[in-house]
């Protein structure tokens, strides 16, 4: 029987709802991963009377964050309410009481992370904030758990989804910023008051957290060389495009080792084709880390959004449960069935040497279709080594066994001299 | 005073040498990160008499791995000798004795990982193997520490550097496989006997480890649907290229949740343009993880190589030291100097509205050069809103303060009507 660990949730918005639903619905998976069962005990929201999509079963709702923090059955406090003062008060109170805190609050960690960390250490509490830095990108784990012996020299990142959605739309449609912003608001990628995003605050919070993790340097948010995107003109989207660039709100940290120094900036930046941030469009986020041993590491993935942020929060909850139990995080071994060749689908690239007859091509394509292998494209090529022409066929997704049987059939066709090559192929999206 | 933790090293090749040099030369950084000082106590090599590049100071060399394991001053055993039987014996003996093991041995973890893990757990020992799965890519940390609450649905990876170097060269030069292989051997990217790489074993080991971490499924290496690259013909590199594909030795894992099933394959695969593996060329490695909450996460970085593998080994040593002391891994807070505007270099994109005079362009470019700002490219553009033409200037790297002063100068030029836009720019490599 796995032990239970009580979880309290402050905030039940987009992220909080997914977290609550997983804690209630996926407790078996979480127990396997965590070694104990995280159980949702109490939830605080602004308006407990409001109808909710998520079914909380019998978990009590209240409107007081402190009631969650002070609940003796709660040992892990998950703060996903956002904002500054009320969130800071709840988190501090929890850490003071020696409870573990998991938070997605960028502004809070950027402004008070080092102080809260010291508080947590002095109280034997835990402070987890993967979701505060990169949302769905596992950037905190990489910086903290993976480059532990490296000296990080620079960070470059596209980490604000709102501005990235707006800039991408400006580039693709030629719209003005205000037009692209309206579209982003309609699609749920920008808030009614988008100042924190457009003025570069959100990206600055994240950059400050990343730089702290990478270097230990507690840089003040106000010392970030920060410039927003409000002035970006659509004509410059066009001109930079013609020159092979894409304009991004780029967050950049530069770390000098000897003598030590650090520079953080968030600025609209023309990024050249081939750069990993160049085509990180829309809600795609990207972080590039250069360090002395690992070299350059690039992380890309979906930035904001309820599910990816919830993924980071839940991952921290699992880690926090493990850490409370003082267990190392093992890869839990669990046998799985191997899929058969009838179950695994592949697409293919075939190169055939075919007869010099008018109907060779048609016979091949017909045979493939008859055997259940879709033909996506067929290209005739001149003879290579011998007298016979070649035929390239891109086949569509079909089970491996179906592909294999179709190849056997092709092998028996008199119009097919040789199956020169058969490769797997990934289909373009 | 930080406590000391004894480290024993088995193997002093490319990776082992970097690890030893760091343990000896960078002990202060490692102590800061680890909370205790990892001290190199003993090293085992095949031939202790051979001259070495690395200065081991007074650390004793021997030729017996067991002597390292049994040394009572050693509590962390680092195995970077490679191979199967001798390495397995040393690792097992260390775990039996309750010592912590850090290993970069792919074959060992792929074939015996779950068994060694169980042994480690039963003895209260630690087993760390970040370097075994992705070398420099922090893939183990991401799968184990960051997607803790996600269900992983698939993995796609270019994780064998030798074949990737060979295939990249075949595509770029039109050479045959044997020619490209010779070149890779000359450049140190392929061993004298490249069978393990060319036949897909190395990629299969890594894939099995990744799938184990992602799903808990202990898949046998022999059940990987494995096909090497020996048959790849240069003509297919050309034809796939014409169709918009790049041939990669792609490692793929497919995980079905309901009913549970898993499929692992390593096969030469035509990958389309736009796919994150398409341009992961030469020693670039890439891993794409799709999971239910985080969505798609892409990791890219340098695969093999002594430094990046050593980065992973050292990171594990730091983690192991931390775990022995039962400390959580905090971001160590340490103030850093902020760099000034005279120290931070930037390149730029300028859009100017200029006079309709013949020498306006020359005056602008001269003013920039006079103020120390290099001009990379200048493009004339027709008037936009008013009567005056525009001038686009790409400026080269110069300190921010130099750029700012040059802009002030431009502002005073009578031939410059307006500085319409000034953006930062990343220079193409």
Same domain as A92, residue A127: yes
Contact B34 A429 (CB under 8 A): no
Q: What's the CATH number where A313 sits?
A: 3.40.50.720
The whole-number average pLDDT for the span B186-191 is 90
Does A307 contact B at CB distance below 8 Å?
yes
Residue A327 has pLDDT above 50, yes or no: no
Look at residues A250, A268, A302 and tell me which one is the last residue of a structural domain.
A302
Cα A415 to chain centroid distance, Å, stands at 50
Same domain as A231, residue A158: yes
| Contact criterion met (CB below 8 Å) for A105 and A94 | no
In a domain, A403, yes or no: yes
Q: Which is more confident, A111 or A213?
A: A111
Phi-psi region of B11 (alpha: psi -120 to 50; beta: other; left: phi over 0): left
Contact A307 B300 (CB under 8 A): no
Contact B294 A272 (CB under 8 A): no
Task: Please tell me the number of Cα atoms within 13 Å of B118 on its side-chain side.
Answer: 7
The whole-number average pLDDT for the span A137-147 is 80
Same domain as B164, residue B273: yes
Does B318 contact A at CB distance below 8 Å?
yes
Does A295 contact B at CB distance below 8 Å?
yes
pLDDT of residue A196: 94
Same domain as B312, residue B378: no
What are the backbone dihedrals phi and psi of residue A353, each rounded to the nearest 5 degrees, phi first?
Answer: -100, 120
Q: What is the pLDDT of residues B358-388, one digit of tens each?
A: 899 999 999 999 999 999 999 999 998 889 9
Q: Of these residues, B50, B99, B106, B206, which one is catalytic? A: B206
CA distance A314 to A33: 11
- Residue of A102, A150, A346, A391 to mutate, interface with B, max B Cβ within 10 Å: A150
- Closest-CA residue of chain B to A287: B299
- Closest-CA residue of chain A to B210: A331
Does A275 contact B at CB distance below 8 Å?
yes
Contact B295 A307 (CB under 8 A): yes
Q: What is the pLDDT of residues B32-80, one digit of tens each?
A: 888 889 999 999 999 998 888 888 888 999 999 999 999 999 999 999 9
Contact A336 B216 (CB under 8 A): yes
CA distance A252 to A157: 6
In a domain, B340, yes or no: no
- Closest-CA residue of chain A to B328: A323
What are the backbone dihedrals phi and psi of residue B157, each rounded to the nearest 5 degrees, phi first?
Answer: -150, 140
Share of chain B above pLDDT 90, in %: 58
B327 pLDDT band, cuts 50/70/90, is: very low
Please report the number of interchain residue pairs, chain A to chain B, with beta-carbon separation below 8 angstroms: 376
| Contact criterion met (CB below 8 Å) for B226 and B200 | yes
Q: What's the CATH number where B367 sits?
A: 3.30.70.260
The whole-number average pLDDT for the span A237-250 is 90
pLDDT of residue A328: 41
Contact B291 A301 (CB under 8 A): no
Q: Which of A258-262, B264-268, B407-411 has the lowest mean pLDDT?
A: A258-262
- Measured between beta carbons, which residues in chain B are less than 8 angstroms from residue A269? 423-426
- Measured between beta carbons, which residues in chain A are less than 8 angstroms from residue B268? 423-424
Contact A294 B117 (CB under 8 A): no
Round the average pLDDT of chain B to a whole number and report it.
Answer: 89
Does A395 contact B at CB distance below 8 Å?
no
Decide if A206 is catalytic. yes
Q: How far is B223 from chain A (nearest CA, A)?
A: 8
pLDDT of residue A329: 42
| Contact criterion met (CB below 8 Å) for B140 and B213 | yes
In a domain, B330, yes or no: no
- Residue of B38, B112, B150 to mutate, interface with A, max A Cβ within 10 Å: B150
- Closest-CA residue of chain A to B427: A272
Contact A240 B142 (CB under 8 A): no
Q: Which of B119-133, B259-273, B326-340 has the lowest mean pLDDT?
A: B326-340
The whole-number average pLDDT for the span A285-296 is 90
In a domain, B335, yes or no: no
Same domain as B91, residue B13: yes
Same domain as B103, residue B167: no
Does A30 contact B at CB distance below 8 Å?
yes
- Measured between beta carbons, which residues in chain A are less than 8 angstroms from residue B295? 136, 301-302, 305, 307-308
Contact A245 B349 (CB under 8 A): yes
Same domain as B246, residue B144: yes
Cα A390 to chain centroid distance, Å, stands at 43
| Contact criterion met (CB below 8 Å) for B121 and B147 | no
What's the length of chain B? 429
Same domain as A74, residue A185: no
In a domain, A204, yes or no: yes
A258 pLDDT band, cuts 50/70/90, is: confident
Please, what is the Cα angle at A361 between A360 and A367, to 5 degrees? 90
Does A283 contact B at CB distance below 8 Å?
no
- Measured between beta carbons, which residues in chain A are less than 8 angstroms from residue B294? 136, 138, 301-302, 307-308, 311-312
Contact B270 A349 (CB under 8 A): yes
Q: Which is more confident, B333 or B298?
A: B298
Residue B329 has pLDDT above 50, yes or no: no
Round the average pLDDT of chain A to a whole number and report it.
Answer: 89
The whole-number average pLDDT for the span B235-250 is 90
pLDDT of residue B375: 96
CA distance A280 to B38: 40
Q: What is the pLDDT of residues A390-419, one digit of tens each?
A: 999 999 999 999 999 999 999 999 999 999
B333 pLDDT band, cuts 50/70/90, is: low
Q: What is the pLDDT of residues B2-38, one digit of tens each?
A: 789 999 999 999 899 999 999 999 888 889 888 889 9
| C-alpha torsion sign, points B255, B256, B262, B267 | negative
How many distinct structural domains can be found in chain B?
A: 3
pLDDT of residue B257: 78
Produce one character per residue of B280-312: b if its CB has 16 or more CB atoms within 10 Å, e if not. Answer: bbbbbbbbbbbbbbbbbbbbbbbbbbbbbbbbb
Q: Cα separations (Å) of B131 from B163, B206, B314? A: 19, 10, 9
Q: What is the pLDDT of residues A11-32, one digit of tens each?
A: 999 899 999 999 999 888 889 8
Q: What's the CATH number where B156 sits?
A: 3.30.360.10
In a domain, B79, yes or no: yes
Please identify among residues 150-189 of chain B the ones whose CB lies closer than 8 Å to any CB of chain A.
150-151, 156
Q: How far is B336 from chain A (nearest CA, A)?
A: 5
Q: What is the pLDDT of residues A191-222, one digit of tens each?
A: 999 999 999 999 999 999 999 888 888 889 99
In a domain, B334, yes or no: no
Which of B138, B216, B311 minimises the CB distance to A333? B216
Contact B33 A148 (CB under 8 A): yes
Residue B328 has pLDDT above 70, yes or no: no
Same domain as B314, residue B263: no
Contact A147 B315 (CB under 8 A): yes
Contact A329 B145 (CB under 8 A): yes
In a domain, B147, yes or no: yes
Does A257 contact B at CB distance below 8 Å?
no
Q: Of these residues, A99, A106, A206, A248, which one is catalytic? A: A206
Residue ranges making up the domain that contains B38? 4-136+308-323
Which of A32, A256, A269 minimises the CB distance to B339? A256
Same domain as A317, residue A392: no
Please identify among residues 79-118 of chain A the ones whose CB lies closer than 8 Å to any CB of chain B.
113-114, 117-118
Residue B391 has pLDDT above 90, yes or no: yes
Please, what is the Cα angle at B255 between B161 and A142, to 5 degrees? 50
Residue B331 has pLDDT above 90, yes or no: no
Does A251 contact B at CB distance below 8 Å?
no
Look at residues A271, A288, A323 and tell me which one is the last residue of a structural domain.
A323
Same domain as B178, residue B98: no
Same domain as B25, residue B126: yes
Residue A235 has pLDDT above 70, yes or no: yes
- Measured between beta carbons, which residues in chain B are less than 8 angstroms from residue A271? 425-426
Q: What is the pLDDT of residues A366-394, one digit of tens each?
A: 999 999 999 999 999 999 888 999 999 99
- Closest-CA residue of chain A to B269: A424
Cα A355 to chain centroid distance, Å, stands at 50
pLDDT of residue A325: 52
DSSP for B169-217, please give it: HHHHH---HHHHHHHHHHTTSS-SS-HHHHTTHHHHHHHHHHHHHHH--
Please identify among residues 49-68 of chain B the ones whose CB lies closer than 8 Å to any CB of chain A.
none
| Contact criterion met (CB below 8 Å) for A351 and A421 | yes
DSSP for A200-248, please give it: THHHHHHHHHHHHHHH-----GGGSEE--STT--HHHHHHHHHTTEEEE
Does B238 contact A at CB distance below 8 Å?
no
Contact B338 A223 (CB under 8 A): yes
Can you count the helices (H) and strands (E) in chain B? 15, 16
Q: What is the pLDDT of residues B197-208, one digit of tens each?
A: 999 999 999 999
Cα B29 to chain centroid distance, Å, stands at 21
Contact A259 B424 (CB under 8 A): no
Contact A146 B141 (CB under 8 A): yes
């Amino acid at each position: 029987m796995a032990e239970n660990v009580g979880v309290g949730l402050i905030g039940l918005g987009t992220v909080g709802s997914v977290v609550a639903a997983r804690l209630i619905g996926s407790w078996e998976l979480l127990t396997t991963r965590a070694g104990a069962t995280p159980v949702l005990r109490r939830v605080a929201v602004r308006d407990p009377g409001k109808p909710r999509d998520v079914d909380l079963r019998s978990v009590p709702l209240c409107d007081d964050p402190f009631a969650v923090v002070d609940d003796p059955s709660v040992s892990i406090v998950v703060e996903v309410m956002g904002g500054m003062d009320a969130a800071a008060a709840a988190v501090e109170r929890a850490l003071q009481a020696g409870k573990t805190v998991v938070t997605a609050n960028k502004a809070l960690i950027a402004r008070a992370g080092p102080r809260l960390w010291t508080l947590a250490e002095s109280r034997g509490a835990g402070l987890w904030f993967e979701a505060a830095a990169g949302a769905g990108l596992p950037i905190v784990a990489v910086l903290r758990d993976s480059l532990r012996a490296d000296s990080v020299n620079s960070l470059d990142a596209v980490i604000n989804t709102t501005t990235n959605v707006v800039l991408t739309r400006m580039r693709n449609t030629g719209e003005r910023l205000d037009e692209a912003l309206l579209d982003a608001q309609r699609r749920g990628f920008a808030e009614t008051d988008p100042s924190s995003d457009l003025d570069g605050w959100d990206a600055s919070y994240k950059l400050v957290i990343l730089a702290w993790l990478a270097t230990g340097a507690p840089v003040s948010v106000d010392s970030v060389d920060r410039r927003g995107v409000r002035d970006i003109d659509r004509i410059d989207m066009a001109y930079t495009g013609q020159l092979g660039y894409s304009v991004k709100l780029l967050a950049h940290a530069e770390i000098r080792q000897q003598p030590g120094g650090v520079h953080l900036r968030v600025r609209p930046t023309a990024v050249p084709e081939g750069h990993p941030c160049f085509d990180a469009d829309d809600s795609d986020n990207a972080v590039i880390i250069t360090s002395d041993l690992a070299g350059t590491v690039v992380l890309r993935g979906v930035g904001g959004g309820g599910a990816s942020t919830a993924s980071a929060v839940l991952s921290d909850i699992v880690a926090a449960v493990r850490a409370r139990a003082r267990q190392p995080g093992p890869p839990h071994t669990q046998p799985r069935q191997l899929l058969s060749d009838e179950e695994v689908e592949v697409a293919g690239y075939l190169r055939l040497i075919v007869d010099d007859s008018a109907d060779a091509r048609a016979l091949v394509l017909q045979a493939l279709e008859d055997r259940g292998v879709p033909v996506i494209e067929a290209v005739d090529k001149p003879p290579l080594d011998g007298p016979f022409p070649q035929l390239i066929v891109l086949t569509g997704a079909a089970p491996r066994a179906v592909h294999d049987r179709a190849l056997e059939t092709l092998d028996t066709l008199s119009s097919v001299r040789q199956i020169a090559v058969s490769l797997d192929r990934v289909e373009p999206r």
